[in-house]
Structure 1
Amino acid sequence: MADCETIRSYDQLARQHAAFQRSQQPTAVYRLIETFFHAGAPTVDIGSGSGRDVAWLNQHGYPAIGLEPSPMMIAEARTAYPGIDVRLDSLPELSSIEDASFDNVLCVAVLMHLPANELERAVIHLARILRPGGRLIVSYRTPPPEGERAIDGRLYTTIPPAVFRSLLEANGFQLLFWEEIPDHSRPLIRWWNTAAEKIRDWHSECV
C-alpha cells in the first residue's frame, strides 16, 4: 500500500506542496513526452499532485486524467486547474483502473514514495494498465540529505537504476531512453528519467 506518512504530509501541507510543484517546470520530462508519447491517445498521470502535468498534457494533445492518493492535493489541483479530471487512486495497485486502459502512462516523482518492497508490484500494475505498444515515462529522485524519511515525513526510497531497469524488462517493457540529471534548485538531489514501451502483455507468462 502507499506510504501513509507520505500521504499525510501531502494532505497537511497540500497548499505548500502544490505551490512548489507549480513553480517548477519539468522541461526534461515534457521533452520525453513530446518525443515518446502517442499523440491524441488516452493518457494517465499517476501521482498527479498539483495537477500541473495533467493540465499540460491536455493542453498539448494528450487527453489525460490524473490519479492521486492525497485528497487535499486533489482539491488543490481542481482549484488551480478547473475542469481537469483527477481521481483518488494510488500505486501499487491502481485498483480503479482496468487492464490495458491507456496508451500513455506518466509517473513523475512517485516511485520513491513507495516502500522498497512495493516497487515490483507497482511496475507490474504500470504494465497492466498499458495497452501493447503503450509508452511509460517515469521520473524519480534520490533521497534528501537527511535520509530516506524527510523531515516533513515523506518517504524517499533509494531505487538503484539498474534494479529499476531490470524490473521494467522483467515485466514486458523495452527501454527506449534513460538519463540522469541534476536538480537545478537542489544541488544534492539527482533525478533519473526513463521512457519505455510495453512489448509484451503483462500476464502472458502466467497463462
Structure 2
Amino acid sequence: MPDQQTIRAYDELARQQAAFQRNRRPESIYRLIKTFFHPGRPTADIGSGSGRDVVWLEQHGYPTIGFEPSQGMINEARAAYAGINVQQAALPDLAGIADASFDNVLCVAVLMHLPIAELTGATVNLARILRPGGRLIVSYRTPPPDGERTPDGRLYTDIPLTHFILLLESVGMRVLVVEEAPDTSRPGIQWINVVGERV
C-alpha cells in the first residue's frame, strides 16, 4: 500500500507543494516525452500532483488523465486548471485503472515515496496499464542527505538504479534510455530518468 504518512503530508502541505511544482519546469522530462511518447494517444500521469504535467501534455497533443493519491493535491490541481481530468488512484496497485489502457505513462517524483517492499508491485502495475508498444517515463530522486524520512513525514526511499532496471525487464519492459543528473537547486540530490517500452 502507499505510504500513508507521505500522503498525509501532501494533503497538509498541498497549497505550498502545488505552488512549488508549478514554479518548476522539468525540461529533461518534457524532452523525453517529445522524443518517446506516442502523439495523440491515451496518456496517464501517475502521481499528477499539482496538475502541471497533465496540462503540459494536453497542450502538446497527448490526451491525458492524471491519477493522484492525495485529495489535497487533486483539489489544488482542479482549482488551478479548469477542466483538468484528475482522478484518485495510488501506486502500487493503481486500483480502478484497466489493463492495457494507455499508450503513454508518465510517473515523475513518485516511486521514491513508496516503501521499498512496494516497488515490485508498483512496477508490475505501471507495466500492466500500458498497451504493447506503449512507453513509460519514470523519474525519481535520491533521498535527502540526512535520511529517508523528511521532518514533514514524506518518505524518500533509496532505489538502486540497477535494481529498478531489473524489475522493469522482469515485467516485460525494454529499457530504452537511462539518465542521471543532479538536482539544480538542492545539493546532494540526484535525479534518475528511465524510459521503457512494453514489449
TM-score scaled by length of structure 1 = 0.95
Alpha-carbon distance between aligned partners in 2 of 1:36 and 1:5, rounded to the nearest angstrom: 34
- Secondary structure of the 1:50 match is coil
Q: Aligned residue for 2:147?
A: 147
Q: Which runs of 5+ in 1 are unaligned?
A: 200-207
Alpha-carbon distance between aligned partners in 2 of 1:58 and 1:170, rounded to the nearest angstrom: 31
Q: Aligned residue for 1:156?
A: 156
What amino acid is aligned across from residue 69 of structure 1 in structure 2? P
Alpha-carbon distance between aligned partners in 2 of 1:111 and 1:182, rounded to the nearest angstrom: 18
Alpha-carbon distance between aligned partners in 2 of 1:147 and 1:92, rounded to the nearest angstrom: 23
- Secondary structure of the 2:48 match is coil
Alpha-carbon distance between aligned partners in 2 of 1:181 and 1:78, rounded to the nearest angstrom: 31
1:89 aligned onto 2:89: yes
Q: Between Structure 1 and Structure 2, how many residues are aligned?
A: 199
Alpha-carbon distance between aligned partners in 1 of 2:138 and 2:95, rounded to the nearest angstrom: 20
Q: CA deviation at 1:162?
A: 0.2
TM-score scaled by length of structure 2 = 0.99
- Listed one character per residue, the Cα deviations across residues 1-45 of structure 1 (whole Å, up to 9, x for unaligned) are 110000000000000110100111000000000000000000000
- Secondary structure of the 2:91 match is coil
1:33 aligned onto 2:33: yes
What amino acid is aligned across from residue 130 of structure 1 in structure 2? L
Q: CA RMSD in A?
A: 0.5
Write out the 4+ residue segments of structure 1 that deviate beyond 2 Å after TM superposition: none
Alpha-carbon distance between aligned partners in 1 of 2:43 and 2:195, rounded to the nearest angstrom: 14
Instruction: Among all aligned residue pairs of Structure 1 and Structure 2, give the percentage whose two residues are the same amino acid.
Output: 66
- Listed one character per residue, the Cα deviations across residues 98-141 of structure 1 (whole Å, up to 9, x for unaligned) are 10000000000000000000000000001110000000000000
Alpha-carbon distance between aligned partners in 2 of 1:197 and 1:155, rounded to the nearest angstrom: 28
Q: Which runs of 5+ in 2 are unaligned?
A: none
Q: Aligned residue for 1:202?
A: none
- Secondary structure of the 1:166 match is helix
